[in-house]
A and B are shown apart, each in its own frame.
Chain A
């Protein structure tokens, strides 16, 4: 079993944190995991991405040229990572900000209005948790229970964020799981 995912978007969208929370959860579940950030000369508002490899074997190459899943939070990320997803893989698109279309028929595309869903829950900042929940809902890479209990632990000192984040993860998970079941 090996899951490879790239999270990509603007600096400030919580891309790196989403990948780290996934990596921590995978570790808690006993998997081998590598989290690798892009660390070019980045700046706030520029593009940022990180990749996570989750495996039941030792992770060989930490570099993921053809991820099984790409989570794209803005148009530049769609341009870069839409074509990179492995055939048969999954493309999770933040449709609140991405208006570029991906015309690939060999990957499953799931549209997630992440910013709007997060705003509806009380804070647009939780868009990263919406797509993280969606990733786990679409792929089952880690257990959703492990993910939420890690988030409860991680934000224990900021209880005001715990419920919002768990709600966001759940909303994302439900949307993606329905999309996978519905086959749309």
Chain B
């Protein structure tokens, strides 16, 4: 690892993209992720890369499409309303099997909402956003270091499966500064997607035509394409589940499920509840799609209560409920509108549920 630096989450995410080999970043500014764009506007020219601001996120989506279809590693970041504008292109990117990495530093919604932290794009990230049967691998960091590590993973997995990968961070992760170390590679990663020679539109001289497309008017061909994508998502569900389990051994009074910054607040709330004699464990989903359903179900079977704690009005709780399959009662606690519960809010709410 390199030296320990103190960096803002947004800037560290930008540097991690460069470290992963990405030399093509397209964006449209929006708080609270604009520091990624600001950072890469300076850094990309330094490393011989492209920084280009689109006229809107809609345009950015197809800049990603074009550059990825040409075999480049590509990246954009935005925040919630901007990601809604990217959603159309995400469906096309998924359909065309293009490897891209998209960062969403979430702010509160719906609509323009506000600029403060939220996790209310959970449905959009994990259930679609764009149209049609497609999935994105969704990774949710809980610290600046984890955001950096996840960026490297995101580029690797986008390339491995040829899917869009979403880094789903809340505004807090983008804005906070924490110590971070970047791995040092003996061999700098390529700016091109490995294996792109097999499918990318790099010029057909001396070889057969490569076609990157999303239109399948023949239903048999469309069905075959759906099956191909489904097989890929099945492999992702089998191989890419990631989570952190904290104090989940043995019988529990409460199992918390929480991700991102909210999970860190829960970590402090857990200590308060444990001091009161409660047995409290937590599962922190690191991949939101695929969701760690099996781990949650297994832990829930040993707990009297399961609580999904989120910066939303109750979105992940639906996946938690589906995972638990009635093995324990499932409740939701959270805040939205940009408000972030403090540890005492969480411990008081959970205590109320336990005693109620």
Residues of B within 8 A of A65 (CB): 342-344
Stretch at the interface among B93-101, B172-180, B291-299, B317-325: B172-180
Residues of B within 8 A of A24 (CB): 6
Count of chain B residues with Cβ under 8 Å from any Cβ of A? 24
Give A62 to B141 CA distance when docked, in angstroms. Answer: 14
Interface centre among A32, A36, A62 (most CB of B within 10 A): A62
Stretch at the interface among A37-45, A131-139, A141-149: A37-45
Are A27 and B342 in touch, CB under 8 angstroms? no
Residues of B within 8 A of A60 (CB): 264-265, 267-268, 271, 343
Chain A nearest CB: distance from B245 CB in Å? Answer: 16
Residues of A within 8 A of B6 (CB): 20, 23-24, 27, 33, 35
Chain B nearest CB: distance from A26 CB in Å? Answer: 9
Given contact pairs A23-B177, A33-B179, A34-B176, A63 touches B342 in the complex (Cβ within 8 A)? yes
Determine if A105 is an interface residue (Cβ-Cβ < 8 Å).
no
CB proximity to B under 8 Å, residues A48-96: 59-63, 65
Given contact pairs A61-B265, A63-B265, A39 touches B342 in the complex (Cβ within 8 A)? no
Are B172 and A61 in touch, CB under 8 angstroms? no
Q: How large is the interface on A (under 10, 10 to 19, 20 to 34, 35 or more residues)?
A: 10 to 19
| A-B Cβ contacts below 8 A, count | 61
Chain A nearest CB: distance from B112 CB in Å? Answer: 12
Give A63 to B342 CA distance when docked, in angstroms. Answer: 7
Determine if B58 is an interface residue (Cβ-Cβ < 8 Å).
no
Determine if B104 is an interface residue (Cβ-Cβ < 8 Å).
no
Chain A nearest CB: distance from B72 CB in Å? Answer: 32
Are A39 and B115 in touch, CB under 8 angstroms? yes
Determine if B4 is an interface residue (Cβ-Cβ < 8 Å).
yes
Are B32 and A62 in touch, CB under 8 angstroms? no
Chain B nearest CB: distance from A67 CB in Å? Answer: 12
Q: Which of B116, B178, B343 contacts A40 (CB 8 A)?
A: B116
Are B176 and A36 in touch, CB under 8 angstroms? yes
Give A178 to B218 CA distance when docked, in angstroms. Answer: 83
CB proximity to B under 8 Å, residues A1-41: 20, 23-24, 27, 32-37, 39-41
Q: Which of B32, B179, B269, B271 contacts A39 (CB 8 A)?
A: B32
**Binary contact track B211-226/A, C-beta < 8 Å → 1, others 0:** 0000000000000000
Q: Give 7 nearest A-B pairs by CB, closest first.
A: A60-B267, A35-B177, A65-B342, A61-B268, A60-B268, A61-B265, A36-B176
- Partner-B contacts on A (CB < 8 A): 20, 23-24, 27, 32-37, 39-41, 59-63, 65
